[in-house]
Amino acid sequence: MSATSEILPLDAPRLLTATPVLQMESVSRRFGDVVALEDVSATVYPGEVLGIMGESGSGKSTLLRLMNLEDSPDKGDYRLDIPGAAGNLFDLDRYGRRMLRARHIGIVYQNPHLGLLMRNSSSGNVAERLLIAGERRFSELRARAGDALAASEFPLERMDAPPIELSGGMQQRVQLAKAIALEPVLLLLDEPTTGLDVSVQALVLDTLKRLQRDRAITMVLVSHDLGVIRTMADRVMVMRRGRVVEEGLADQIFQDPQHEYTQALVHAKL
């Protein structure tokens, strides 16, 4: 029996004509002799949550960093549906990448130290995003930072506290507020709830769900926690050793996984 059983191709004429928010084609990335990604393609449509799951070292975080233009692949093409962002985004120079990232892509890292200045105020961390976009009026900066923190369900009486004085769940909310402050076309989430205790994890996931429902934010969520993927994702990509082994609707991936590896992964869940 092959790793993936024979299956009907999904080749019916398409109904949905919306332009994808994200299109990544044939991306490969090596670190020395280590193949991190091999011929990976991904498409994300407006308003959906794409979940990426796989064990440690499967390449999922490398893929997310490429989506955030923090890194360059050895080959591959990357497009976002953003006005003025034509062509392969991997061809942009550092400045072009930085501006595009600052204005159009939000990211929440597992480790808040990567996303926040831990000794600056929480509101200042969010306002930094708005400054990059050209907002200079203090009252506006503060009001808009407050709006973003409120949308992330951060208690506003603590908006001037530096993240270092906050709990892990609160730090993730500051990251989230910073990520959504400019209403990005794409929100990238790299293990956003890993390391949080279960009750806080539920609160953060609930906030993300609410944002997705009320603002229809398009998200890519990387997690090795199958429960998180199952709760959040509309579609799922399963990665192993730098390759996509299976893609499908979230319920199909969990109820009727086709690939041998996906079956092993899903059956291993407690």
Tell me if 270 contacts another protein by CB under 8 A: no
- Distance between CA 120 and CA 164 in Å, rounded? 9
Tell me if 150 contacts another protein by CB under 8 A: no
Tell me if 5 contacts another protein by CB under 8 A: yes
Least distance (Å) between residue 204 CB and another protein? 10
- Distance between CA 134 and CA 184 in Å, rounded? 15
Within residues 12-41, the interface with another protein by CB under 8 A covers 12-16
Tell me if 225 contacts another protein by CB under 8 A: no
Among 26, 111, 167, 255, contact with another protein (rule: CB under 8 A): 255
Among 131, 156, 251, 269, contact with another protein (rule: CB under 8 A): 251
Query: Using CB under 8 A, which of the segments 80-88, 122-130, 133-141, 227-235 binds another protein?
Result: 227-235
Least distance (Å) between residue 151 CB and another protein? 15
Tell me if 136 contacts another protein by CB under 8 A: no
3-state secondary structure the chain: CCCECCCCCCCCCCCCCCCCCEEEEEEEEEECCEEEEEEEEEEECCCCEEEEECCCCCCHHHHHHHHCCCCCCCEEEEEECCCCCCCCHHHCCHHHHHHHHHHHEEEECCCHHHHCCCCCCHHHHHHHHHHHCCCCCHHHHHHHHHHHHHHCCCCHHHCCCCHHHCCHHHHHHHHHHHHHCCCCCEEEEECCCCCCCHHHHHHHHHHHHHHHHHHCCEEEEECCCHHHHHHHCCEEEEEECCEEEEEEEHHHHHHCCCEHHHHHHHHCCC
Instruction: Report how far apart, in Å, the C-alpha atoms of 83 and of each of 17, 125, 187, 199 are.
Output: 18, 26, 17, 40
Tell me if 248 contacts another protein by CB under 8 A: yes
Tell me if 269 contacts another protein by CB under 8 A: no
Query: Using CB under 8 A, which of the segments 7-15, 99-107, 132-140, 188-196 binds another protein?
Result: 7-15
Tell me if 268 contacts another protein by CB under 8 A: no
Tell me if 213 contacts another protein by CB under 8 A: yes
Query: Using CB under 8 A, which of the segments 70-78, 162-170, 188-196, 248-256 binds another protein?
Result: 248-256
Least distance (Å) between residue 4 CB and another protein? 8
- Of 36 and 185, the one with the shorter C-beta distance to another protein is 185
Binding interface with another protein (CB under 8 A): 1, 3, 5-16, 45, 48, 202-203, 205-206, 209, 213, 231, 234-235, 247-249, 251-252, 255-256, 258, 260, 263-264, 267
